Amino acid sequence: MAIPQIPTVQASSPGVGVVCIEDFTSVPQTNPIPCNHILSGTTAIGPTFDGPFVTPNHQIQFGLYVNASNALNGWDITLLANHNFLVPASVDPTHSLVGPENIPGASLAVVVLCLQGVSKTGNCLSTDTIDTLHYSVVGGKTTGVSSGLLFTAVYNITGQTPAGGISLGYQSGCAGSQSVPGSCIAILTGTPSPAPETSMSATFDNSGTPSTGGTGTSGVPFVTMTSNVANLNLLAGKTGTVSLTVTAQNGWPGTLGLPGGSDDTIGFSDIASTGLTVSLAPGTTCSTAGTACPPVTISVSAAVAGNYFVTFFGNYVANSYTTGQNNTLSAPVTVNVKVTDYSWTVTPTTIDIPKGTFTNLAVGTLTSLNGFAGTVTFSAVVAPAGLTTNFSPT
């Protein structure tokens, strides 16, 4: 794999940094000091995350951070987690310390994105397996000793772990120079040599979280989200509605006043097929008051016949009853949208009619698009006035 070469900029205080996995809401956004989670003696212990295993699968976010690194301009990192419990869904580079939010004018170039050994961008490697998320990016160049977020990894929670949980760490065996010998972690510096680092992994343990209900004494409080429809049938150009209900589970919201969290606030977002218009306003939220949110109604439409989908996410932060760890979670629900339409033709399209006579026009073809079935009523607009029209049948 070829990494674009960026001119060298040396750190003002070269040293060994730390790469770690943290919850985004647990790290201050001003002067962040990540990778300083828990100390057991002199050994840093990564966080233990939690999240519900329910249908449809919840999502959980993990922030990949670096602390006290040499100047950097990107990374090549492969995360490793047992796919029976965590499956990589996507990555989010928002707030990255090498992106435009932190380096004005910078841009992020994705070199590789490989999820479960399947390429989304670039080429997967032999070390990319069903258990990995491989993400490589080149961005703006930091200066001096550098700390902050690299990217956020989004995973689907696909199982309930045994007691003690599973490791969320890094793949091994990658070729070439690595920042952490033996691990697939390369913090890029714009030179052939990556920045030297140590690493800290994390644990995912949802063994104590019930699938629904519960008294709120173990695991993590959570919410579920449902839609009033699973499938929506629309005529092209017409609008339909979806009503979403968020319900408290396992003692939600639990402990209030989360550091960087939002207490009993559920935020909404969506991803939708190209061509489908979804009227979810940015910043839409609701509160359950420990039971359920009032339904949130959203309009959906499409101008062209076809099969579409929209997935809505109820996003929130939950604090574990047992560890006190923040967990950034999303409760999803997907609605399939079938949009139908029809087309028709008239022949001929130009006619000469002697005064006082009439001419028959034929509807050449009336065609159903994407399964439209229904009654079509014809009408005519005459301009200028004086022409008489009749339809048979109407």
Q: Judge whether 113 and 134 are in contact, CB under 8 Å.
A: yes
Q: Judge whether 172 and 186 are in contact, CB under 8 Å.
A: no
- What span, in angstroms and rounded, lies between the C-alpha atoms of 14 and 36? 19
| Among 177, 170, 80, CA closest to 130 | 80
Indicate the DSSP class of residue 24.
G
* One-letter amino acid of 294: P
pLDDT tens string for the chain (394 positions)?
334 333 333 333 346 899 999 998 888 766 667 887 665 555 667 899 999 999 999 999 999 999 999 999 999 999 999 999 999 999 999 999 999 999 999 999 999 999 999 999 999 999 999 999 999 999 999 999 999 999 999 999 999 999 999 999 999 999 999 999 999 999 999 999 999 999 999 999 999 999 887 777 789 999 999 999 999 999 999 999 999 999 999 989 887 655 544 589 999 999 999 999 999 999 999 999 999 999 999 999 999 999 999 999 999 999 988 888 899 999 999 999 999 999 988 878 888 888 888 887 776 678 999 999 988 888 888 888 888 888 877 7
CATH domain 17-204 topology: Immunoglobulin-like (2.60.40)
Query: What is the location of CATH 2.60.40.10 in the chain?
Result: 222-341
Q: What one-character-per-residue DSSP string does 122-178 give?
A: S---TT--TTEEEEEEE-PPP-SSEEEEEEEEEEEE-S-PPTT-EEEEE-B--SS--
- What span, in angstroms and rounded, lies between the C-alpha atoms of 353 and 4? 72
* One-letter amino acid of 327: N
| Among 104, 72, 103, 90, CA closest to 8 | 72
| pLDDT score of 13 | 38
Q: What one-character-per-residue DSSP string does 163-227 give?
A: TT-EEEEE-B--SS--SSTTBSEEEE-SSSSPPPEEEE-EEE--TT--SS---SSSS--EEEEEE
Q: Judge whether 152 and 125 are in contact, CB under 8 Å.
A: no
Which tokens belong to 285? 């939220």
Strand bridging mode 48-49 / 109-115: unpaired
| Among 185, 178, 199, 193, CA closest to 67 | 199
- What span, in angstroms and rounded, lies between the C-alpha atoms of 317 and 229? 26
| pLDDT score of 387 | 85
| pLDDT score of 5 | 35
| pLDDT score of 44 | 66
| pLDDT score of 3 | 40
Residue listed under structure tokens 């039971």: 291
State pLDDT tens for residues 30-76.
Answer: 666 788 766 555 566 789 999 999 999 999 999 999 999 999 999 99
CATH domain 222-341 topology: Immunoglobulin-like (2.60.40)
| pLDDT score of 257 | 56
- What span, in angstroms and rounded, lies between the C-alpha atoms of 248 and 293? 9
State pLDDT tens for residues 5-21.
Answer: 333 333 333 468 999 99
State pLDDT tens for residues 145-197.
Answer: 999 999 999 999 999 999 999 999 999 999 999 999 999 999 999 999 999 99
Q: What one-character-per-residue DSSP string does 44-87 give?
A: EE--EE-----SSPPEEEEEEEEEEEPP-SEEEEEEE--TTTEE
Residue listed under structure tokens 């049948």: 393
| Residue 48: Cβ-neighbour burial (10 angstroms; 0-12, 13-18, 19+) | buried
Query: What is the location of CATH 2.60.40.680 in the chain?
Result: 17-204
